[in-house]
Amino acid sequence: MEINTANLIPLSVPVPPVPLLEEALGYTRKARFFATWWQPEGDEAMVSDGIVTATGQWIGYLAYIEHPRIYSELCRYELGASDCPAQFRLVIDRVERKGYVARPADAQKFLARQWPEEATTLNPAQMDQLLEALDRWLAEDRQATIGDVLAWMEANQNAVAALQAWLNETEITTRNTP
């Protein structure tokens, strides 16, 4: 797939190695590109890969974009806030570990283009199998326990701490490099 980044503005922000940023932001899928921004409705960090858009991890989002090495470049772009919608989205290339910004419509079009366009046709037997699998999935009892929630919170805190440690270590290394 040829990557056309014509509507993306390249940034020189450091993008941590896999999976530091993804885990801290709450992006769990495998697309090459994903975007993140702040959504005032719900007052949440968001992540999207062009197919799935979901609430991200706000603590990790703020830890990344408010870090001095990142903020100094991103402050020119309105990525959204509690009282205003995003005018730009931060787009991350998970392969090249590069960051870009783009207007929301441009970011969405760019992200959508990374997915195959051909439609999948299901025969009646395949459709029945899909519906049965969906029924089984919906019937499952998936109630989270307090332990599940605490484990998730601890994993999120660890992911944010790892991101911050990497950003701070990189900052010190860069500062000490002649």
Task: Cis check for the bond before 19: say yes or no (omega within 30 of 0).
Answer: yes
pLDDT at 2: 65
CA-nearest of 3, 5, 15, 13 to 94 is 15
Cα–Cα dist 151/145, whole Å: 10
Edge to edge, what strands does the sheet with 9-10 contain? Answer: 9-10, 98-102, 89-93, 33-39, 44-48, 53-55
pLDDT at 1: 55
**Do residues 163 and 21 touch, judged by C-beta distance below 8 A?**
yes
pLDDT at 122: 87
Return per-residue pLDDT of the chain as tens, 178 residues: 567 888 999 999 999 999 999 999 999 999 999 999 999 999 999 999 999 999 999 999 999 999 999 999 999 999 999 999 999 999 999 999 999 999 999 999 999 999 988 777 889 999 999 999 988 888 887 788 999 999 999 999 999 999 999 999 966 665 555 5
pTM reported for the whole predicted model: 0.84
pLDDT at 174: 57
CA 54, distance to chain mean position in Å, is 9
**Do residues 18 and 94 touch, judged by C-beta distance below 8 A?**
yes
pLDDT at 81: 95
**Residue 20, CA distances (Å) to 17, 71, 164, 178 in order:** 6, 18, 9, 27
Cα–Cα dist 52/69, whole Å: 29
pLDDT at 138: 86
pLDDT at 118: 76
pLDDT at 175: 52
